[in-house]
Amino acid sequence: MNRDQLLNELSAFLRIPSVSTLPAHNQDCRAAAEWVAQELRRLGCHDVQFLGSETHPVVWGAGPEIAGAPTLLIYGHYDVQPPDPLAEWTTPPFEPSVRDGRLYARGAADDKGQVFCLLKAIAASPRPPVNFRFLIEGEEEYGSKVLFDLVEREPQRVHADAILVADMSYVAPGWPAVYTTLRGLAYAEITVRTSKTDLHSGEYGGAAPNAHEELARLLTRIKGEDGKINIPGFYGPVQRPSKTELAAWKKLPFKEKDFLNKRVQGKGLVGLRKYSVLERLWALPTFEIHGVLGGFTGEGAKTVIPAEATAKVSMRLVPNQKLKTVERQLEAAVKRFAPKYVTASVRFLHGADPAQIKLNDPSFKLLDQAFKQVLGRGTVPARAGGSIPVVPALASGGAPVILTGIGLPDDRLHAPNEKLELKQLWDGIEVFRTFYELLGESGRG
Amino acid sequence: MNRDQLLNELSAFLRIPSVSTLPAHNQDCRAAAEWVAQELRRLGCHDVQFLGSETHPVVWGAGPEIAGAPTLLIYGHYDVQPPDPLAEWTTPPFEPSVRDGRLYARGAADDKGQVFCLLKAIAASPRPPVNFRFLIEGEEEYGSKVLFDLVEREPQRVHADAILVADMSYVAPGWPAVYTTLRGLAYAEITVRTSKTDLHSGEYGGAAPNAHEELARLLTRIKGEDGKINIPGFYGPVQRPSKTELAAWKKLPFKEKDFLNKRVQGKGLVGLRKYSVLERLWALPTFEIHGVLGGFTGEGAKTVIPAEATAKVSMRLVPNQKLKTVERQLEAAVKRFAPKYVTASVRFLHGADPAQIKLNDPSFKLLDQAFKQVLGRGTVPARAGGSIPVVPALASGGAPVILTGIGLPDDRLHAPNEKLELKQLWDGIEVFRTFYELLGESGRG
């Protein structure tokens, strides 16, 4: 298939605004699932099903049966993050646009472009080299509940010789990676209430508590200026990476200065300064504020003392931290840090335990070999700062989970102007085609 | 005129959503101005004009000329505060509703109901006892720029023997007041920026700065937990009330416990605890956060590190503080308190100097007498926590500004379920009719 046609097909997929966290996009999520199902049918899948949800189904498929060949389960997701702030996109998020060899669209890298790459690598094989299974879900950006429930109900869905997850990136251009940990996630809303209704700041200002002020103070108590998260017990189970691992990270083509200037594009980095930036990103937990609601945020001026304010926050968790424990710790910290005259509460929206993966299955060597053949450099072991909530569930059947991907670190996932470099896509199709064939040969050996 | 008919007329005025801070309501503001103009014509004004703005004009009027009688300038405003949060209104803000002798609507007390009261008190006189002038503006809730410009351009508009401003409340039911100070106001937006675009909290969390976190920390530096505002120089010119004044306040029917339980309806008060609540409300400046923008505030979850966050804030100012000085002080404090890796800026939306009024004109005694005749109790001198930006400009021609009103302290100005008690309205019409006649008689004496 020629590249123009491939680009047209991928663009059609990217045009569907399948934002899973916004109910207004339920039908778009369904449409993206239909798109995936159609592709699986074109690959010869005999058993394409929508499982677990009408609006955000897991798309299941099983390819043609190849006697004696290993079984490879391919995981990916067709849902995307919300595109706001819209004004910061150079071209609209759901109108894919190619500029300078880069394809710009929400989902270009996370994860539609990568799902597309995995599927087209199968189509590029003269004949299917392995037994393919597919679990392409529609709630990765919203906690993967449908897929969690499915795997609990039907654990055989994750039975395979290996599971391939391409939702990640190279550690640098030319440096493909395989990941050994994923951070977990606990997403919550912290709400403080200080009075029954909003109050006039002239009539009450100076004596009535202000919910925004109390929330700001509470948030600064939870996380200090030094970057330390002051939730009691939070760091208890956190372990430092081994000396070998830390030494290996030093050899990666990662420069803190470039990270600041080219990726953050800010004036300085923050966090626990006694650890390297890579350690902060890959091996330490976080507490981030995503947005703050309450009071008056319209145009112009309104002099109101807000009665209630809510912060949307999340914590990234590292191996040995447990989601349920961290949720209890945050709740206790909020109660402890809020003054008596404030009613404070926490509501948890979704979350995921962290994941840890050992690279001892032979399939990791085959992926390494495929990258070497195509790019001239194999995979480096790395850790991931992001989360794929369902990875522990995928691993529950005992199959090795191969976490890799064709993105680059500056793809601006979850941010305006998300992109995928076309070179990465074309290389990726060739790499995965090679990997499938190597895996098929290994099964027949 | 019977009370049902008066209520119908007032309701028609209240139904106009004349929110001056929201450009979408420009035509509504104009419609409210037309309503006022029509009323002035019905009172026999021969010279009704719209001055200074097409959408938020000052409505000027001059009543029939009464030879030898004093001139009374009546000030009021037909614009109102935005009604949000809409969900907290029992009945919609622009559908006036009477329950238990109270009229609920945005603007019922601030200030449409009071403007209505002043005008109907004129209509209730058998013949006009004084020379009336009217300046009814449409930008009181947004800085009064149109009226400021008008008074600067045409200072004769505020030439009068007295100026009556009924935009205030009793200090308690049965206790009418006349006010000696108004707090000023400085309304601003504080913005911090930490990166070029929003970033993925998995990819960047732990090392990239978070605009919401930096803003929260900045705000807690500006105002501490003890209620103290830490803007350098801010309290410099603030003077304590005299011992006599403080002693008089102690005799007012004001209980801190009632203020907390019945008006704030919260679990505790805050602020500079070494001063009484009345002193905090009337004689000390404030810093309040009204709303916070930036990042993701939609439904559901989005794991973004915001690049920019903005707080809408305002400060109430007390006599001797100057708006321009305080604006400079806030800007300097923001620069000083923001860390180096943060770009922080301040934008001022509008403001007003504080006002101070001496009660030495004979007209204050006449108002006192009018209240005594109607209610059996005269006016107590009080201070006001709120602001009427234009009062210093009104006073610039040398006329005494009589600050009073028929509201009650629990009218919920600027908040959901704003109300005016009908008894206050009917008493008010009688009080002001009496005042006009006493003033007219004094002129002829």
Paired residues of B137 in beta bridges: B77
Are B336 and B199 part of one and the same domain?
A: yes
Boundary-marking domain end, from B306, B335, B352: B352
Cross-chain Cβ contact B294/A291 below 8 Å: yes
Is A112 within a domain?
yes
Task: Say yes or no for a CB contact (<8 Å) between B198 and A85.
Answer: yes
Q: What is the pLDDT of residue A220?
A: 98
- Tell me the C-alpha distance between B415 and A29, whole Å: 40
Q: Does B281 touch chain A if contact means CB atoms closer than 8 Å?
A: yes
Could you tell me the pLDDT band of residue A32, with boundaries at 50, 70 and 90? very high
Please check whether residue A263 lies inside any domain of the structure. Answer: no
Helix ranges (DSSP H) in B86-207: 112-123, 145-153, 201-204
Last residue of a domain, one of A288, A318, A352: A352
Question: Would you say residue A264 lies in a domain?
Answer: no
Q: Do B208 and A302 touch (CB under 8 A)?
A: no
Angle A283-A288-A291 from CA coordinates, rounded to 5°: 155
For β-strands B304-305 and B184-193, DSSP reports them as: unpaired
**Statement: residue A445 has pLDDT above 70:** no
pLDDT in tens, A286-323: 999 999 999 999 888 888 999 999 999 999 999 999 99
Per residue in B393-409, pLDDT (tens digit) is 999 999 999 999 999 99
Residue type, B382: A
Number of helical H runs and strand E runs in chain B: 13, 18
Q: Exposure pattern of A9-31 as b/e (b: 16+ CB <10 Å)? A: bbbebbbbbbbbbbeebbebbbb
Whole-number average pLDDT of chain B: 96
Q: Identify whether residues B32 and B171 lie together within a single domain.
A: yes
Q: Distance between CA A270 and CA A381 in Å, rounded?
A: 25
Rounded to an integer, the average pLDDT of B347-365 is: 94
**Looking at chain B from residue 378 to 407, which residues have their Cβ under 8 Å from any Cβ of chain A?**
384-387
CA pair distance A403, A424, nearest whole angstrom: 16
Give the per-residue pLDDT at B142: 86
Does A246 reside within a domain? no
Interface of B with A in 87-126 (CB under 8 A): 88
For the segment A205-223, the average pLDDT, to the nearest whole number, is 98
> For the segment A247-270, what is each residue's pLDDT rounded down to a tens digit?
999 999 999 999 999 999 999 999
Q: Where are the beta strands (DSSP E) in A138-183?
A: 162-166, 177-182
Instruction: Taking residues B330-338, report their average pLDDT.
Output: 98
| Burial class of residue A366 (count of CB atoms within 10 Å of its CB; 0-12, 13-18, 19+) | buried
List of chain B residues whose C-beta atoms are within 8 Å of the C-beta of residue A194: 266-267
Q: Are residues B364 and B346 part of one domain?
A: no
- A244 CA: distance to closest CA in chain B (Å): 22
Contact across the interface for B386 and A200, Cβ inside 8 Å:
yes
Distance CA B3, CA B8 (A): 9
pLDDT digits (tens, 9 = 90+) for A327-347: 999 999 999 999 999 999 999
| Position B210 pLDDT exceeds 90 | yes
- Cα B228–chain centre separation: 24
- Residue B277 counted as domain residue: no
Q: Is A418 exposed, middle or buried (0-12, 13-18, 19+ CB in 10 A)?
A: buried
Strand partners, B419: B104
Average pLDDT for chain A: 96
Least CB-CB distance to B223: which of A213, A215, A417?
Answer: A213
For tokens 């499982």, the residue is A51
Question: A381: which 2 tokens?
Answer: 């072991």
On whether residue B271 sits in a domain, the answer given is: no
Question: Looking at the structure, do residues B207 and B99 belong to the same domain, yes or no?
Answer: no
- The residue type at B75: Y
Chain B contacts of A410, Cβ < 8 Å?
none
Angle, CA B263 vertex, CA B226 and CA B102 arms, to 5°: 155
Distance of CA B272 to CAs A192, A231, B182, B254, B279, Å? 21, 29, 20, 18, 10
Best residue in B171, B290, B308, B413 for a mutation probing chain A (most A CBs within 10 Å): B290
Task: Give the domain CATH number at B440.
Answer: 3.40.630.10
> A4 in helix, strand or coil?
helix
Category of A411 on φ-ψ map: left (φ > 0), alpha (ψ -120 to 50) or beta: alpha
Q: Residue A243: which residues within 8 A CB-CB, separation 6 or more? A: none
Looking at the fold, whether B360 and B424 belong to one and the same domain comes out as yes
* Inter-chain touch A385–B277, beta carbons under 8 Å: no
Q: Considering only CA atoms, which of A152, A203, A134 is closest in space to residue B383? A: A203
Residue B244 lies in a domain: no
Verify that B165 and B20 share a domain, yes or no.
Answer: yes
A160-185 per-position pLDDT tens digit: 999 999 999 999 999 999 999 999 99
Cα separation of A161 and A166, whole Å? 17
The residue from A286, A321, A352 where one domain ends is: A352
Per residue in A217-237, pLDDT tens?
999 999 999 999 999 999 999
Q: Does B174 touch chain A (CB under 8 A)?
A: no
| Among A234, A238, A282, A292, the residue to mutate for chain B (most B Cβ within 10 A) | A292
The domain that holds A232 is classified in CATH as 3.30.70.360
Q: Is A205 helix (H, G, I), strand (E, B) or coil?
A: coil
The number of residues in chain B equals 445
- To the nearest whole percent, how much of chain B has pLDDT over 70? 99
Per-residue pLDDT tens for A97-149?
999 999 999 999 999 999 999 999 999 999 889 999 999 999 998 889 999 99
Query: In this structure, what token pair is assigned to residue B346?
Result: 């301040």
pLDDT tier, A444 (very low <50, low <70, confident <90, very high otherwise):
low
Task: Give the pLDDT score at B444.
Answer: 59
Distance of residue A310 Cα from the nearest chain B Cα, in angstroms: 9
Q: What's the helix, strand, coil split of chain B in %, to 5? A: 35, 25, 40
Claim to verify: residue A198 and residue A178 sit in the same structural domain = no
Chain A neighbors of B195, CB-CB under 8 A: 264-266
In chain B, whose CA is at the least distance from the CA of A110?
B200
Question: Are B42 and B147 part of one and the same domain?
Answer: yes
Q: Residues B16-47: pLDDT tens digits? A: 999 999 999 999 999 999 999 999 999 999 88
Rg (CA), chain B: 23
The residue among B64, B46, B66, B60 whose CA lies nearest residue B157 is B60
**Residues B235-259: what's their mean pLDDT?**
95
Q: Are A66 and A440 in contact (CB under 8 A)?
A: yes
The per-residue pLDDT for B288 is 98
The verdict on B70 and B114 lying in the same domain is yes
Average confidence (pLDDT) over B415-422: 95
For residue B264, give the nearest of A208, A303, A409 by CB distance.
Answer: A208
Which uninterrupted H or E stretch holds A348? strand A343-352
Closest to B191 measured CA to CA, from B298, B338, B315: B338
- How far is Cα of residue A401 from the mean position of the Cα atoms in its chain? 16
Please check the confidence at residue B239 and state whether its pLDDT lies above 90: yes
The whole-angstrom separation of Cα A60 and Cα A41 is: 11
Number of structural domains chain B divides into: 2
Q: What is the mean pLDDT of residues B90-112?
A: 98
A:B CB pairs within 8 Å: 364
Taking the CA of residue A166 and the nearest CA in chain B, the distance in Å comes to 16
Structural domain of residue B155, as residue ranges? Answer: 3-182+354-444
Whether residues B18 and B154 fall in one domain = yes
**Residue B445 pLDDT > 60:** no
CA distance B406 to B117: 9
State residue B350's pLDDT score: 86
Of B293, B314, B415, the CB nearest to A197: B415
Examine residue B272 and state whether it is found in any structural domain, yes or no: no
Question: B443: pLDDT confidence band, cut at 50, 70 and 90?
Answer: confident
Q: How far apart are CA A157 and CA A138, in angstroms?
A: 16
On the question of pLDDT at A158 being above 70, the answer is yes
Answer yes or no: do A201 and B286 touch at CB < 8 A: yes
CB contact under 8 A, A290 and B296: yes
Whether residues B205 and A387 touch (CB distance < 8 A) is answered with no
Instruction: Specify the DSSP class assigned to residue A370.
Output: H
Tell whether A73 and A8 lie within a shared domain: yes
Q: Which of A287, A285, A256, A288 is nearest to A181 (CA)?
A: A285
Check CB contact of B280 with chain A, cutoff 8 Å: yes
Do residues A433 and A371 make contact, with C-beta atoms less than 8 angstroms apart?
no
Best to test chain B binding among A289, A335, A342, A408 (most B CBs inside 10 Å): A289
- Degrees (nearest 5) of the Cα angle B333, B337, B339? 140
Q: Which residues contact residue A184 at a Cβ distance below 8 angstroms, ignoring those fewer than 6 apart?
A: A316, A317, A318, A321, A323, A351, A352, A353, A354, A355, A387, A389
Contact by Cβ (8 Å): A273, A227: yes
A163 and A193 part of one domain: no
Residue type (1 letter), A169: S
User: What whole-number distance in Å separates Cα of residue A137 and Cα of residue A151?
Assistant: 12
CA gap B185, B82 in Å, rounded? 18
